[in-house]
Structure 1
Amino acid sequence: MIRLVLLLSFCLGVLLPSRVPAHALEPAFLELTPFGAGEWRVTWRKPQVQGQPMDIDAVLPEGCSPRRGSQPDFDGRAFLEGWVAHCADGIGGGEIRIEGLERSRTDVLVRYATSPEAAPQAMRLTAATPAFIVPENSGMLGVAAGYFMLGVDHILKGVDHLLFVLMLLFLIRDWRPLLAAVTSFTVAHSISLAAASLGWIVVPSPPVEAIVALSIAFLAAEQLHHRRDLPGLTLRYPWTVAFAFGLLHGLGFARALLDVGLPERDVPLALLAFNLGVEAGQVLFIAVAVAMGHAIARLYPVFATHMTRAGSFGLRSVAYAVGALASYWVIERVAGFLT
């Protein structure tokens, strides 16, 4: 029992930061749009931290003037700067650096074009790689790679989305209905992600985030009330429940794309790459969770026998913990858009 408690504490400590946010900091966004001879329109968007702009700065290649922005303006969610940079020798072959990114928890999506005739490219910068050399022309592969990594990063840092998938794994034990549920969840959030990103449907973000948290609380309640002789809605209609909530989660995924935008010439490619990135991150999480479950069952057979059955102390404890956290998110998010 002591080992089990320590194991659960370790897992919760890894999954949940001290303030238990559902997402990591919003990604920053830098865009360089060429519009004349040696001139680029620069848009620099960085997250807020406790009401102040995050301590990161975009630095353009040498030969550009000015290389940095000035005082940012707050738009309600992030701090924006815009300026026109003159780069006599172009930006190809130059270094774009995000100063201070190595000390942060956020990522930066850089979208740029080396000339008015060139297709826009994308690059994702992280704390480990805060700078890159602008290639002369990386083609469509650069766009796909940048948006794919953005999708992977978004799902792996979205603790609320991962908790929903984890509760599905705990609740549905038969692989056939589990496969149906995961597949319908994937199809549903792919549909709503595309629709929201393309502007076909417009839904305010705060209510969507509150309903996403509510979906986690729903699955936790299903786990607590699960009995072999009285299955809940999720066990009776796994793909229907997963599809309905998948539509809502897709609207949440779309927020990342709406924040950074889609390249005008490569919208289908960027949208496909981002969705594939989300799916890759989701599959990776499921694979790790299943592998950890098998490993723990081998090391501690009593865990598999007595602690993972429906209605067992172990699953009820997890359901109470996840349900309490999800309920906190619901209250916090509803209060956020009502006040």
Structure 2
Amino acid sequence: MRFVLGFLLALLFFWTPQTVRSHALDPGYLDLQQLAEGTWQVLWRVPDVNGRPMEIGVVLPNQCAPARGPQPASDSVAWVSRWVAECETEIAGQTVAIEGLEKQRNDVLLRIQPLESEPVTLRFTPEMTVLTVPERPSIWSVFTSYFQLGFEHILEGWDHLLFVFALFILVRDPWRLVGAITAFTIAHSITLALATLGVLKVPAAPVEAVIALSIVFLALEILRHKEGQIRLSEQYPWIVCFCFGLLHGLGFAGALSEIGLPSQDIPAALFAFNVGVEAGQLAFIAAVSSALAVWRLIAPSGFPRIYANATPVIGYAIGCVSVFWLVERVNGF
């Protein structure tokens, strides 16, 4: 009966579109690099949607020609176009727009590299498709943009969230949970930095498959839990989390490599993205903890029994979803 209930819960995940189940993070990227007075090199990177470029387009300030570039070509990951624009006046204080973004769920990063001032990174959203180029850019814009991307990535990456949720269910002791989360953080920070900087190169498909396998492992540990007995994964969860955190960091790096990092602000962007991931992870744990606290207040007497009965159902649901992801990702090699 518990398996049936878990299977039914898993179906809710199977009905979710693939773009939601996997990493939803794949923003566009617009890079404006000044070559000389009034001359700008434009790099426009458009996300891939089912083998075609997303229906969005960049519009430079009216003083720049051409304001729109050539049709982008595929680089097997996204669609890229490059051109040189001649601008009659300084673009500082002028507006740049992304047409069609209001119809999408993605964001677009704008990187501006003037000759005589610091680079600046801005962020287009479906709610804000037109931005004004600031006259005095700062590194703070890089931090805020990549922090928001990291925060949204963890909240939209269902596989990473499911791993954190399974860890929350498995580890009952608060201090062990804190240690496990800390180990997970340290581990994925290491591989995120190494992979993003090009020191470590691992194919994305096997990494995604092993991430799904890590969730399968936690689901099995949840189902094998017995009251009064502490399994090795529950007693020393930081060891398990550190090992799997290394793999999840490679997954984060794969998403970050799709965006690209500003060449002159790599440390700031990398740090901000990682902080954003951690903030999103902590926000998720806080939300789950708050929900359990409210449940305990509403039904204090029946909470232990209901929670004990619900845990195996949750374990089966997590297991079904993660096995589905594992088979799907291995099949996609």
Q: Which TM-score applies when normalising by structure 2?
A: 0.91
The structural deviation recorded for 1:25 is 5.0
* Aligned amino acid, residue 80 of structure 1: V
Please say which of residues 70-79 and 187-196 is displaced more in the overlay: 70-79
Q: Secondary structure at the match of 1:308?
A: helix
* Aligned amino acid, residue 305 of structure 1: P
Q: Secondary structure at the match of 2:76?
A: coil
Alpha carbons of 1:300 and 1:104: their partners in 2 closer, same or farther (altered >3 Å)? farther
Alpha-carbon distance between aligned partners in 2 of 1:126 and 1:148, rounded to the nearest angstrom: 14
Matches within 5 A, 1:165-184: 165-184=164-183
The structural deviation recorded for 1:186 is 0.6
Matches within 5 A, 1:88-107: 88-107=88-107
Q: Does 1:68 align with 2:68?
A: yes
Deviations 1:112-157 (A, max 9, x none): 12x2232221112221222211101221111111111111121111
Alpha carbons of 1:178 and 1:46: their partners in 2 closer, same or farther (altered >3 Å)? same
Q: Check the 8 A contact 2:13/2:21 in 1, yes or no.
A: no
Please say which of residues 187-196 and 261-270 is displaced more in the overlay: 261-270
Alpha-carbon distance between aligned partners in 1 of 2:14 and 2:118, rounded to the nearest angstrom: 39
The structural deviation recorded for 1:229 is 4.7
Partner of 2:287 in structure 1? 288
The structural deviation recorded for 1:16 is 7.6
Q: Which TM-score applies when normalising by structure 1?
A: 0.90
Alpha-carbon distance between aligned partners in 2 of 1:215 and 1:165, rounded to the nearest angstrom: 11
Q: Check the 8 A contact 2:25/2:153 in 1, yes or no.
A: no
- Higher relative contact order at CA 8 Å, sep ≥6: structure 1 or structure 2? 2
Alpha-carbon distance between aligned partners in 1 of 2:58 and 2:303, rounded to the nearest angstrom: 51
The structural deviation recorded for 1:302 is 6.2
Q: Check the 8 A contact 2:118/2:137 in 1, yes or no.
A: no
Q: Does 1:26 align with 2:26?
A: yes
Q: Secondary structure at the match of 2:142?
A: helix
Deviations 1:79-133 (A, max 9, x none): 11111111121221111111111111111121112x2232221112221222211
* Aligned amino acid, residue 185 of structure 2: T
Indicate the percent of aligned positions where both proteins have the same amino acid. Answer: 46
The structural deviation recorded for 1:77 is 1.8
Partner of 2:312 in structure 1? 316
Alpha-carbon distance between aligned partners in 1 of 2:331 and 2:279, rounded to the nearest angstrom: 33
Deviations 1:8-35 (A, max 9, x none): 97x9969983345222152211111111
Q: Check the 8 A contact 1:296/1:303 in 2, yes or no.
A: no
Partner of 1:218 in structure 2? 217
Q: Secondary structure at the match of 2:48?
A: strand
How much is the aligned-residue C-alpha RMSD, in angstroms? Answer: 2.2
Q: Check the 8 A contact 1:15/1:159 in 2, yes or no.
A: no
Alpha-carbon distance between aligned partners in 2 of 1:42 and 1:236, rounded to the nearest angstrom: 54
Structure 2 unmatched runs, 5+: none
Q: Check the 8 A contact 2:63/2:89 in 1, yes or no.
A: yes
Structure 1 unmatched runs, 5+: none
Partner of 2:59 in structure 1? 59
Alpha-carbon distance between aligned partners in 1 of 2:330 and 2:301, rounded to the nearest angstrom: 41
Alpha-carbon distance between aligned partners in 2 of 1:17 and 1:102, rounded to the nearest angstrom: 23
Partner of 1:85 in structure 2? 85
